[in-house]
């Protein structure tokens, strides 16, 4: 692992943390170090008998930061829980150059939960009034699934009409409601043959999948170990919201300047979630992404502007320059980069902005602006979600399952460390490119009980693995 760790000083590293409980209901907090496409398992801390307040979590984070090297760390990613936010603020006050970043996938999932699983509360009445029909559609889908899955004869009839398996979707999986309804659309013909014949109900399913589609797509893009910090603004919440609006207005037959009560509630939810998760680091990463200044990207949407012309992004970017001695030179270098002047005037330089990987582009053309060059290499290689940490749940569950529950906590942690990091190293081998080997690796560690369960869970299957999802859902025709 040392060759990967040696890159952290130049390329930076993200500390990713998330909680989990083992089969004996003992709570753990996992810590991983992610940089580029190489998330390394650091350790798993038992929280049994501990109060997981912000001070406890912050102390654990400090230990991991010191172990990794404080000057190497760019950000810490956790979920959006209040205690994690409080711990992040403590870390930011202790290490001003380290940012606490809420997991973007968690943020989007919470927005979907607010929309697709709204609760009937006095404080939530407006949202419930607009969205309760979605909850009813989801409950109908669960009843249909249970009707088929709980009796072997009904399941046999279903399998006769459909070549895909009807799998339950665990509530712990991100976008669980949307995933279930998307599965229902795939097996619609078989369900219509057996139980569901109402066209009105299927129209509601189509509508839910359509207007949540842009949110689901953004979850899939961010739900990865790969560097995506610079893509949050490129994909743009504004663009995502506009796509959601287009689907809603098309369904309701409204013009762009008309008002939709349903859309207004969706808009409030998305804007509220974005306001809680947006950080200066997102602004800086977007500002250092060469593609954000290319004509190809700007012409995709008439409302887009370059980062240096956006007041909100510029304000956030400036907050990231903490050293007053380097501030002036950094601004001069950024001015040349954004205005395409000085060393950034060349034709090849401009062409590469839209076609070349941003990190490779900075390595090729950024040496004349050393401050923002070094900053770009550290920022553009960071993830935006805690996916790598959450996928590690299934690894721990595989190691410390009910069949192996006599393992001590330390021994289980050591085995998880070896298993996870050996798998990381295997990805750098030529054999990993082989399809079968790759599918085994993506599948993770949940095959221990695959025959017993019919569940799709986020910890076991990423939204960003549609090929493997199809493999799981397809019956063996041999």
CA distance 140 to 74: 45
Beta-bridge mates of residue 366? none
Residue 291 in tokens? 């593609």
Does residue 344 or residue 22 have the better pLDDT? 344
Whole-number percent of the chain with pLDDT over 90: 34
326, pLDDT greater than 80: yes
Q: For residue 342, what is the DSSP state?
A: G
Instruction: Report the Cα–Cα distance between both ends of the chain, in Å, rounded.
Output: 42
Evaluate whether 36 touches 380 at the Cβ level (below 8 Å): no
Does residue 48 or residue 23 have the better pLDDT? 48
Q: Tell me the per-residue pLDDT of 387-420, one tens digit each, with 9 for 90 and over.
A: 776 665 555 566 555 555 566 667 666 766 676 6
Q: What is the pLDDT of residue 154?
A: 86
Q: What is the pLDDT of residue 317?
A: 93
Lowest mean pLDDT among 162-166, 255-259, 333-337, 411-415: 411-415
Does residue 422 or residue 442 have the better pLDDT? 422
Q: Work out the burial of residue 340: count CB atoms within 10 Å of its CB; fewer than 13 is exposed, 13-18 middle, 19 or more buried.
A: middle
Q: What is the pLDDT of residue 27?
A: 83
Q: Rounded to two decimals, what is the model's pTM? A: 0.80
Q: What is the pLDDT of residue 76?
A: 95
List the domains of the chain with CATH numbers.
2-103+386-428 (3.30.420.10)
Residue 303 in tokens? 């409302």
Beta-bridge mates of residue 167? none
Strands (E), 114-209: 168-169
> In the Cβ-directed half-sphere of 425, how many Cα atoms lie within 13 Å?
11
Whole-number percent of the chain with pLDDT over 70: 77
Q: Tell me the per-residue pLDDT of 455-475, one tens digit each, with 9 for 90 and over.
A: 344 333 444 444 444 444 444
445, pLDDT greater than 60: no
CA distances in angstroms from 257 to 254, 260, 325, listed in the order given:
8, 10, 49
Q: Tell me the per-residue pLDDT of 48-66, one tens digit each, with 9 for 90 and over.
A: 888 889 999 999 999 999 9
CA distance 350 to 348: 5
174, pLDDT greater than 60: yes
Q: Dihedral (C-alpha) 100, 22, 443, 31: value to the nearest 10 degrees?
A: 30
Give the pLDDT band of residue 439 (cuts 50, 70, 90): very low
331 closest CA partner among 290, 367, 372: 372
Tokens 């060759």 correspond to 3
429, pLDDT greater than 70: no
205 closest CA partner among 176, 182, 189, 223: 182
95, pLDDT greater than 90: yes
Strands (E), 79-139: 99-102
């Amino acid at each position: 692992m040392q060759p990967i760790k040696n890159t952290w000083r130049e390329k930076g590293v993200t500390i990713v943390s998330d909680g989990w409980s083992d089969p004996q209901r003992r709570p753990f907090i996992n810590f991983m170090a992610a940089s580029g496409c190489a998330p390394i398992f650091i350790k798993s801390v038992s929280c049994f008998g501990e109060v997981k307040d912000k001070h406890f979590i912050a102390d654990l984070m400090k230990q991991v930061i010191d172990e990794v090297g404080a000057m190497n760390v760019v950000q810490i990613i956790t979920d959006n829980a209040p205690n994690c936010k409080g711990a992040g603020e403590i870390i930011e006050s202790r290490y001003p150059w380290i940012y606490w970043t809420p997991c973007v996938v968690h943020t989007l999932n919470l927005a979907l939960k607010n929309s697709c699983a709204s609760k009937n509360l006095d404080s939530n009445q407006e949202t419930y009034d607009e969205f309760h029909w979605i909850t009813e559609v989801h409950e109908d889908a669960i009843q249909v699934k249970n009707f088929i899955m709980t009796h072997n004869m009904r399941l046999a009839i279903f399998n006769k009409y459909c070549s895909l398996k009807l799998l339950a979707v665990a509530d712990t999986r991100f976008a669980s409601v949307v995933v279930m309804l998307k599965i229902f659309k795939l097996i619609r013909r078989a369900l219509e043959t057996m139980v569901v014949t109402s066209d009105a109900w299927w129209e509601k399913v189509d509508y839910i999948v359509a207007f949540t589609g842009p949110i689901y797509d953004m979850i899939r893009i961010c739900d990865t170990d790969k560097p995506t910090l610079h893509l949050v603004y490129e994909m743009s919440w504004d663009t995502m919201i506009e796509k959601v609006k287009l689907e809603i207005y098309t369904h309701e037959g409204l013009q762009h300047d008309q008002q939709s009560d349903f859309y207004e509630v969706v808009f409030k939810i998305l804007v509220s979630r974005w306001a809680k998760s947006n950080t200066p680091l997102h602004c800086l990463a977007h500002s250092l992404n060469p593609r954000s200044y290319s004509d190809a990207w700007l012409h995709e949407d008439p409302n887009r502007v370059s980062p240096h012309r956006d007041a909100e992004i510029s304000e956030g970017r400036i907050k990231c320059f903490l050293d007053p001695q380097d501030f002036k030179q950094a601004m001069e270098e950024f001015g040349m980069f954004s205005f395409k002047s000085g060393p950034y005037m060349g034709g090849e330089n401009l062409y590469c902005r839209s076609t070349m990987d941003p990190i490779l582009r900075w390595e090729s053309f950024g040496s004349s602006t050393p401050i923002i060059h070094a900053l770009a290499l550290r920022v553009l290689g960071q993830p935006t979600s805690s996916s790598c940490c959450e996928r590690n749940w299934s690894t721990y569950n595989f190691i410390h399952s009910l069949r192996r529950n006599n393992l001590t906590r330390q021994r289980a942690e050591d085995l998880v460390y070896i298993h996870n990091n050996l798998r990381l190293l295997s990805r750098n081998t030529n054999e990993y490119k082989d399809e079968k080997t790759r599918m085994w690796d993506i599948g993770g560690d949940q095959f221990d009980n695959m025959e017993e369960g019919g569940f799709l869970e986020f910890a076991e299957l990423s939204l960003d693995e549609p090929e493997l999802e199809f493999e799981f859902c397809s019956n063996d025709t041999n």
